[in-house]
Amino acid sequence: MDNTLITIPFEDVYPAAERYFLATAGLNRENSKHKRMWIHALAIYEEIRGKGEIKALIHHVIPEKAEGRDFYFRGVKISCNAFERIQLDNVNGAYFYIITAGDAQTESEQVIDQLYGDIWGTSIVDAAREKIRDRIISMDKEKDENSILSDSFGPGYYGMELLQTADIFRIIDPSLVNVTLNPGGMMRPQKSITGLFLSVKNGEVLPPATCENCIGGSSGCTFCNRWER
Ligand code: SF4
């Protein structure tokens, strides 16, 4: 199994996590009215940092078959609208990933603390995804220096259904980072994310950022004007 397990220090993700947090919470550190809120948000971050642990698992797989919006990895079908226009012959491989922030949550029952804790947790795993994408680009360049890495495809993005998490977990082993899936399809710990990056040959056209929020549709990309070629 081609698995890479990484522990990411909180310091490494902080700058990007702070940027995501401020954008999501609508806080401006230069605004004097927001100063007290920001100091409080930082106290919640410190609590979370003391309890969480950021781990990432990366698993490299080569897709064996493509049919429309379906790619097959070791017999498991992963469906994503954005796969529809990607030529299988131009795909070098896929890097599946799971990132978890572990027990990164606040013990406080105050609503504002819960809200800040939730935004920090999401910001931390999103920042960690940026980090592992950089790491994967380096790994991929060792295999083919001309390859291009896609953005992340995953449940809820680019027209991939949330239920696909269970299928992704048949390809990458979540137990290696202590992540589980409950009967409702939710990952535990709660601040965990999964998906895949595709490595493609230089020249293959990847979906634009405007496709990220694709909600799908029965006719797929064929009659959709968001992705012009
Ligand atoms: S937004 Fe349109 S073009 Fe983009 S992936 Fe979805 S269906 Fe395809």
pLDDT at residue number 164: 95
Residue at 110 is within a domain: yes
Do 215 and 161 contact (CB within 8 A), yes or no? no
**Binding pocket residue ranges, ligand 1, CB within 6 Å:** 81-82, 158-159, 207, 211, 214, 217, 220-221, 224, 226-227
- 81 C-alpha vs ligand 1 centroid, how far in Å? 6
Report which of 87, 65, 83 is spatially closest to residue 74, judged by C-alpha positions. Answer: 65
Q: Does residue 180 form part of some domain? A: yes
In a domain, 212, yes or no: no
Output the CA 217–ligand 1 centroid distance in Å: 9
pLDDT of residue 32: 85
pLDDT in tens, the chain (229 residues): 589 999 999 999 999 999 999 999 999 888 888 999 999 999 999 999 999 999 999 999 999 999 999 999 999 999 999 999 899 999 999 999 999 999 988 999 999 999 999 999 999 999 999 999 999 999 999 999 999 999 999 999 999 999 999 999 999 999 999 999 999 989 999 999 999 999 999 989 899 988 999 887 667 787 787 776 5
Which strand (E) or helix (H) includes residue 3? strand 3-8
User: Does residue 223 fall inside a structural domain?
Assistant: no
The residue contributing the CA closest to ligand 1 atom 4 is 211
| 161 is a domain residue | no
Report CA(62)–ligand 1 centroid distance (Å). Answer: 23
Q: Is residue 48 part of a domain?
A: yes
CATH of the domain at 37: 3.40.109.40
- CA angle, residues 125, 33, 118, in degrees to nearest 5: 20
Per-residue confidence (pLDDT) for residue 217, from 0 to 100: 67
CB count in 10 Å sphere of residue 49:
19
- Residue 202 C-alpha to ligand 1 middle, in angstroms? 21
Pairing of strands 187-188, 54-61: unpaired
Nearest CA to ligand 1 atom 8: 221
Q: Residue 38 is part of which domain span?
A: 3-65+91-156+168-198
- Angle between helical axes of 10-25 and 111-143 (0-180°, round to 10): 130
124 domain residue, yes or no? yes
84 is a domain residue: no
What is the CA(178)–ligand 1 centre distance, in A?
34
Number of domains making up the chain: 1
